[in-house]
Structure 1
Amino acid sequence: MERSLETQVSQAVDAWLRWLPRWEPATHRGRVAPCRRCFGSPVLSAAGLGADVPHGVQHGLSTRIKTIVDHAVAEYTALNLPMLQAELDQQAARNRARSYRPAEGLEPEFDGLPLDPEPTPGAPFLFTLSGLAAQADSDVPELPPLSEEAKAALRQEVGLADDYANMVGREVCTILLHHRLRIQAGITEYVEPQIEAMLDELTRSLDAPFDPNDPHPLP
């Protein structure tokens, strides 16, 4: 029997809470561009995860919830939108033909994130994962072109799929409101202490910028 949306959201939050104790603050340089999945996400607003919550924590939950919406839309498409489904099937077959697919099979905490770190000025990469993936993609033949009538019909079905995704998304957000307390409890227990420890360490380093035990202090 198909699980209800309430059950799926509850299980997604459960999985996120099981992962949360393993989260650690990132030590690498932050990215300039915001995450398109998380920035301004109504899912995160419904969950009570504001801008003061680290992005890695947000991303782990938003990706799990997105999977629920995507699955619901996929079922709706398969049952009601034959032209869009055929197009998706062709694209899926094309993707399977690629020899290199680094973005597939990732854990929810990494799904949707850029494949490569931000480059350091003056130190270009010899190669990038995204570049290798693009090269593999260029080796696969393009899908056959559609007629203008087919394009118009496909756009109409895409619009219907978008409307359904928005409807499911609103329902999921309503369900998430009921999980806010335990989401916040997880943040309080596992995330806030690490943030406070980082701030304390920063304060100590600002108060004592030079190590008193340094045998070679600056003149």
Structure 2
Amino acid sequence: MERSIETQVSQAVDAWLRWLPRWEPATHRGRVAPCRRCFGSPVLSAAGLGADVPHGVQHGLSTRIKTIVDHAVAEYTSRNLPMLQAELDQQAARNRARSYRPAEGLDPEFEGLPLDPDPVPGAPFLFTIGGLAEQEDADIPALPPLSDDAKAALRQEVGLADDYANMVGREVCAVLLHHRLRIQAAIAQYVEPQIAAMLEELTRSLDAPFEPNGDPGLPEL
């Protein structure tokens, strides 16, 4: 029996709450570009995860919720949109032909994130994961071109799929509103203390050079 959207959202939030105690602040250099999945996401707004919540915390929840929407759209497409389904099946078969698929099978906390760090000017990478994946993709024959009529029909079905995704997304957001309190309680318990500790440590490190008993610095010459 197919689970209701309400049940799926509840289970997704439960899974995220089980993961959250393992979250730790990132210690590496952050990316400059915002995450396209999380930036301005109505899902995160419904969950009460604002811009003051670290992206790593946001991403795990938004990805789990996106999976629910994607699954619902896939079911709708298979039943009602034959041309789009055929195109997706061909693309899936093409993807399976690749022996190197680094973006697949990732945990929700990492799914959809860039495969490589931002480039550093003057310090090019010897290779990148994304570059290796693109090289593998270039060796797979492209899908056959569509006629103009087929393209028009496909665009219409894509529009219908988008409309359905928006409808499911609104339903998901409405359900998420009922989970706000326990989401915010978990943030207060597991995330905010770590951020406060980081800020306290940063304050101590900035104040240390000016403390009377601190390191006097370099001797005068």
Could you tell me which residue of structure 1 aligns to residue 186 of structure 2?
186
1:11 is the counterpart of 2:11: yes
Give 1:82's aligned amino acid: P
SS state of the match for residue 14, structure 1?
A: helix
Q: SS at 2:50's partner residue? A: coil
Q: Distance in 2 between matches of 1:139 and 1:165?
A: 33
Structure 2 residue aligned with 1:170: 170
**Unaligned stretches of 5+ in structure 1?**
none
Distance in 2 separating the partners of 1:33 and 1:131:
19
- Aligned equivalents of 2:185 and 2:36: distance in 1? 26
Structure 1: distance between partners of 2:180 and 2:152? 42
Aligned position for 1:137: 137
Q: What SS does the corresponding residue of 1:209 show, helix, strand or coil?
A: helix
Structure 2: which 5+ runs fail to align?
none
Residue deviations 1:100-144 (CA, integer Å, cap 9, x gap): 100000000000000011122221110000000000000000000
Could you tell me how far apart the structure 2 residues matched to 1:148 and 1:109 are? Answer: 40
Alignment correspondent of 1:32:
32
CA distance in structure 1 between the partners assigned to 2:124 and 2:96 by the alignment: 30
Percent identity between the two aligned chains: 87
Instruction: Assess if the C-alpha contact under 8 Å between 2:208 and 2:214 holds in 1.
Output: no
Question: Does the Cα contact within 8 Å between 1:43 and 1:62 map onto a contact in 2?
Answer: yes
- Inter-partner Cα distance in structure 2 for 1:146 and 1:218: 71
How is 1:116-155 mapped onto 2 (pairs within 5 angstroms)?
A: 116-155=116-155
Matched length: 218
The structural deviation recorded for 1:213 is 7.2
Structure 1 moving runs of 4+ over 3 Å: 209-214
148-157 or 120-129: bigger deviation: 120-129
Q: Deviations over 1:176-196 (max 9, x none)?
A: 000000000110000000000
Q: Equivalents in 2 of 1:193, 1:9: separation in Å?
A: 27
Within 2, Cα distance between the matches of 1:77 and 1:2? 16
When normalised by structure 2's length, the TM-score is: 0.96
Q: Deviations over 1:36-75 (max 9, x none)?
A: 0000000000000000000000000000000000000000
Residue 10 of structure 1 and its aligned partner are, at CA, apart by 0.2
> Please, what TM-score do these two structures have when normalized by structure 1?
0.97
**C-alpha distance in 2 between matches for 1:5 and 1:109:** 21
TM-superposed CA distance for 1:206, in Å, is 1.1
Amino acid at match of 2:209: P
CA distance in 2, matches of 1:7, 1:29: 37
